[in-house]
Structure 1
């Protein structure tokens, strides 16, 4: 909850510490908090302790399937229980037919009767309706097949009825999708599963079959999309290009696949001090406990001699040593494991089948030299761990595809030996000129995120060598098909030179240049004809610069941060940014005088703007032209309140709201105040002390 509210969270805090921090954070705030899916009255009592009653008209909404919990939530706070009703017949039909046909009117007459029969069995429950509709959407439109589905399902008003419907959808999956879906049982309830994390764990397990003309990760992404289309997985964090950055499981779907995984000895789940295993040979194990007794951990390790996957989630202050005889281990993941020392991975070099290693545990502060012997390793992800330096033997990992670190990790100069490497994130500023020169040897590199040295660190002579090495490496990587380039630096010299290097990477699809001091955009950016994602920071921007960006035909996302607000009105015409889906414009040093011409940005769905309230009187041209963004669905406006009067901020907000209300598409609007504590009160502003002509101080008093 603290994390969702934007407060810093130490995952090692116990319940008492978290409650204290949350109460302190909320003590003087008016809040609306939604607590989803409370299972017990004990859990509610714990949550309630963290929510202060501060007489500021705060509100709490809780959801639960348990009537006793609902009563408990209301009894102490004079609340109201709202029993969610099933969908009525009209809405049930709308949801069902939209998933299959796109529209109710598209249903063939010969399927109407059986469709209504199926809908009636779903009893207005959205999960049942969408599951059956997704199943039918993948089948031919034969009446006989639909009647078979109708006869196969019971009525969904009971828990067992919904489970039967979900089982029907599961059994309809091809074998490769069944396996991939069951694998999701390793993740804890409500865990947000990263798309790349899931895809590469599937690959590591050997679930993904080769398809001619496609890479394994492309095939795996197709599997994921198929499961989403069948409504077995819920996509979350959907981006501008329609791809979901993560996914989640509905609680009932998770319950089902955990049950199936246990029956088939596919996955063993450990919660509390108990674990269920249908065999004394564990194939995959996922530990969701914060603490395990030594005897339990020893028993688990004894049964893990043939284990293929071990995942730890949230284990606190407990040391364990993985046995050196785990010859079948392919996946090893430590998530939020807080313990001391690196004893747990001292035998890492003996896990010769290991293909996926991930840890964000601060207790793991070094990797053994023997890691170089893991010739099957595809993913090495140590982001958030205590590791600050990788051993030189990393260069021996000839099949490593993904190396994911944080900027503070020093990488060896042998980085050029990783001939299979496709993704490098995030290489830090501790790396040498030799390291930068070695990058050109990475023939298969497709994504790189690097923090560059500054001239103050290197000196003029070494800086020249460094830039020459960077230029040479970028040129080679660009010709070899580099698709994503993220560069972070706060040095003016490097920032300006980076603009001249862009022409070497015509295949770029994503470009991020962050915290680099760049005076103006380069006309060479027009050469990036494949660019889809641009995030760049500049000192100033002119109309010509905007025209250069607008001419890139493939842009879907643009985040433009400008240190000094434009000194001229910027106009975006109808022939610019024709495919853009999301536009973020941040004006850090002034107003935002941008005018959207008629039919501008025809595909824009999401618009985010940031400006200083002090400039609202004369530099808010965008307000009057929002109506020209025909496809706009979401408008987010951040107002910097620093040194602005309250009335000026409120006037700016009102102007934005009025413009959004007048938009024919009625976009969803979100207004955020930044630096609100630095806002000036109007009354105090009127009493501001001024100097008269004789140099004496006089006060303007409010009359």
Structure 2
């Protein structure tokens, strides 16, 4: 386990006693492996000194209590700024799966991370997160299709240690949950309310909340201490997944004038008050998977806003931007996700050109007429922003007229590393093979051909490829194909190309793929969704394949259902 993180040369520097010291305890070995991986310059004598420091007497292996000693040693070895970020992990309850982005956005709002060595603050936060992964302080439990960690967990014993350190330093105050934390001796600065009945309320008795600048709640809003939403110096308010949200709560939030991070994701809020415009320091507003369908015009007063996150991708519910949105005051925007664009969005789309810092644009619903002014403006905006910092582009166009028009772009969005086009594409945009930085591609198409696959195989950096065939019919009993999904009866995956591809997702009535020898040499995972499994050939030619995930469409025929029952 430890050796997998090190080169052969570095392994030779490490005395066997280092691993013997861990006493065969899995967590001790894992944490020490992370420590070793982050210190490649240490020589054998350095590691012997570590052993002596942790086991000064007889050199006997550490017992269960020794894991805490190893945790303490490895924690103290971390750079100061990463120690701070690690203490923040105890905000979340034991056993909880947490989004990487949720964590890093909170770090930014708290001021734990800043620009460094030419990297943006966001990129530095990613670096710190990856360092904690390498240290084995956190464990990746879910990856995005571009290979990045999507969510993580913290081992119970690691979290217990972090809670203890955070309590000692009065960094975070945890109330309820699985931890019995001593009441803070002075002011509460970061408060995490994790529930727990009578002990929960007792834990808050006598606490001074007047200096709370970060408030996180899990469960019901009825558990909030009285007047807690009136705390004027709160910078981070995270109510993700909370229930019992009332209109009054929204009004109170608009009085938290220093707020930088606001998450109301998966709450019952249905309207954002106009007074949101008073939150002049707000950087992130997350209202995904709520009933909010429109933002007030006052949102344009928030000059520091970096992330607007709305809509629901699964249900295609989208967020309307106000018609009079003043983009000239919102030049800091980097993520604009989950929005709807229709014929009334002319001014909004025209001003998109001003958002030259935009990294991600995700349009969940598009309803515009071909040849209209807004049709041309949107195409122009995408082409313009593609020459700046646009890294992720997602468009869901049910009619697919706009998707067809993208082929005519004179200058492709060359910096894209993620592209998702959902609709009924017949032909791929001609410039798609020129996207030299593309790692993730998701396409919803009417027809897939061998020639199209051969074109895509030229993408040198492609890590994840997803296809969804949206039309055509399949006889669920015989497997005979009709209509546009026929795709010449067979799709050949070429022997060359797809050099870095590791994930392939394919959703279609029938899966007519044939893999040539040495096709997709690094492919590790295939996920297939189908009505009839016939037509998949020569998978043994996929030399690096580790996982195959099969899932039937709801309308699959009885023969197919019986086959996979």
Q: Indicate the residue corresponding to 2:508 in structure 1.
A: 587
Determine the structure 2 residue equivalent to 1:598: 517
Partner of 2:376: 468
- Residue 560, structure 1, aligned to residue 560, structure 2: no
Q: Deviations along 1:522-572, whole A, 9 cap, x unmatched? A: 433223333221111111122222222222222221111123242332222
Is 1:375 matched up with 2:270?
Answer: no
1:178-327 paired onto structure 2 within 5 Å: 178-239=83-144, 241-271=146-176, 276-289=182-195, 299=205, 303-315=208-220, 317=222, 322=227, 326-327=231-232
Q: Deviations over 1:580-632 (max 9, x none)?
A: 121222222xx33322222221221212234432x72xxx2x42x22222222
Give the Cα separation in 2 of the matches to 1:102 and 1:364.
Answer: 52
Match of 1:479 among 380, 384, 387: 387
Give the TM-score, by structure 2 length.
0.86
CA distance in 2, matches of 1:268, 1:294: 12
CA deviation map 1:155-179 (0-9, x unaligned): 6664422111211111111211111
Q: State the 1:297 CA deviation.
A: 9.5
- Equivalent position to 1:422, from 325, 328, 334: 334
CA-to-aligned-CA distance 1:393-425 (integer Å, 9 cap, x gap): 110111111110114433213152311001011
Question: Equivalents in 1 of 2:200, 2:546: separation in Å?
Answer: 54
* CA displacement at 1:245 relative to structure 2: 1.0
1-structure distance, mates of 2:500, 2:360? 23
The answer (yes or no) to whether the contact 1:542–1:566 under 8 Å persists in 2 is yes
Change (3 A) 1:297 1:278: closer
Does the CA-based 8 Å contact 1:290-1:314 persist in structure 2? no
How many residue pairs match? The answer is: 537
- Using the alignment, how far apart are the partners of 1:610 and 1:484 within structure 2? 25
1:521 is matched with 428
TM-score normalised by structure 1 residue count: 0.70
SS of equivalent residue, structure 2 residue 545? coil
Which structure has the larger Rg over C-alpha atoms?
1
Q: How large is the RMSD of aligned CA atoms in angstroms?
A: 3.0
Residue 323 to residue 585, structure 1, CA distance change in 2 (3 Å): closer
Q: Which residue of 1 aligns with 2:479?
A: none
Give how far 1:444 is off.
1.0
Pick aligned residue for 1:630 from 543, 560, 564? 543
Residue from 432, 441, 450 that aligns with 1:543: 450
Classify 1:380/1:502 alpha carbon distance in 2 versus 1 (closer, same or farther; 3 Å): farther
- TM superposition shift of 1:364: 3.2
CA positional deviation for 1:329: 1.7
Distance 1:612-1:320 versus aligned 2 partners, 3 A rule: same
> Cα–Cα, structure 1 residues 325 and 250, in superposed 2: closer, same or farther, change >3 Å?
same
Quote the residue 1:81 is aligned against. Answer: none
Query: Which residue of the other structure, out of 418, 432, 435, is the alignment partner of 2:345?
Result: 432
Kindly indicate which of the two structures has a greater share of residues assigned to helix. 1
Secondary structure, counterpart of 1:220 in structure 2: helix
- SS of the residue corresponding to residue 42 of structure 2 reads coil
Alignment-derived partner of residue 528 in structure 2? 609
CA contact (8 A) 1:474 1:501 kept: no
Quick one: structure 1 residues 497 and 571, their matched pair in 2 at CA, closer, same or farther if it must change by over 3 Å? same
Which residues of structure 2 form unaligned runs of 5+?
312-316, 472-484
CA-CA distance at 1:520 after TM superposition: 2.8
Secondary structure class of the residue paired with 1:567: helix
Aligned CA distance change for structure 1 residues 293 and 141 (closer, same or farther; 3 Å): closer
Distance 2:336 2:273 in 1: 21
Task: Point out where structure 1 has 5 or more consecutive residues left out of the alignment.
Answer: 1-94, 654-672, 677-703
User: Does the CA contact (< 8 Å) of 2:20 and 2:61 recur in 1?
Assistant: no
CA contact (8 A) 1:329 1:354 kept: yes
The alignment partner of 1:398 has SS state of: coil
- 1:608 aligned counterpart, secondary structure: strand
Q: CA deviation at 1:141?
A: 3.2
Does residue 576 (structure 1) correspond to residue 497 (structure 2)? The answer is: yes
Task: Give the Cα separation in 2 of the matches to 1:529 and 1:106.
Answer: 34
Distance 1:187 1:382, change over 3 A: same
Alignment correspondent of 2:69: 164
CA distance in 1 between partners of 2:283 and 2:320 (Å) = 20
Moved more, 279-288 or 144-153: 144-153
Q: Does 1:128 align with 2:28?
A: yes
**In 2, Cα distance between equivalents of 1:207 and 1:121:** 34
Note closer, same or farther for the CA distance 1:298–1:361 as it changes in structure 2 (3 Å cut). Answer: farther
Deviates more, 1:140-149 or 1:439-448: 140-149
Match runs of 1:635-650 below 5 Å: 635-640=548-553, 642=555, 644=557, 646=559
423-432 or 484-493, which deviates more = 423-432
Checking the alignment, whether the CA contact within 8 Å between 1:210 and 1:216 is kept in structure 2 is yes
Q: What secondary structure, in the 3-state scheme, does the structure 2 residue paired with 1:346 have?
A: helix
Alignment of 1:634-673 (within 5 A): 634-640=547-553, 642=555, 644=557, 646=559, 673=564
8 Å CA contact 1:176, 1:207 repeated in 2: yes
Q: 1:509 aligns with which of 414, 417, 434?
A: 417
Secondary structure of residue in 2 paired with 1:566: helix
3-state SS in 2 of match to 1:496: helix
Provide closer, same or farther for how the CA distance between residues 353 and 134 of structure 1 changes in structure 2, counting only shifts above 3 A: same
Any idea what SS the aligned residue of 1:468 has? helix
CA distance 1:127–1:212, shift in 2 (3 Å): same
Structure having greater relative contact order (Cα 8 Å, sep ≥ 6): 2
Tell me what 2:321 maps to: 411
Encode CA deviations 1:455-495: one digit per residue, 9 max, x unaligned: 5xx6x7xx622312222222222222321111112114334
Contact 1:380 1:402 in 2 (8 A): yes
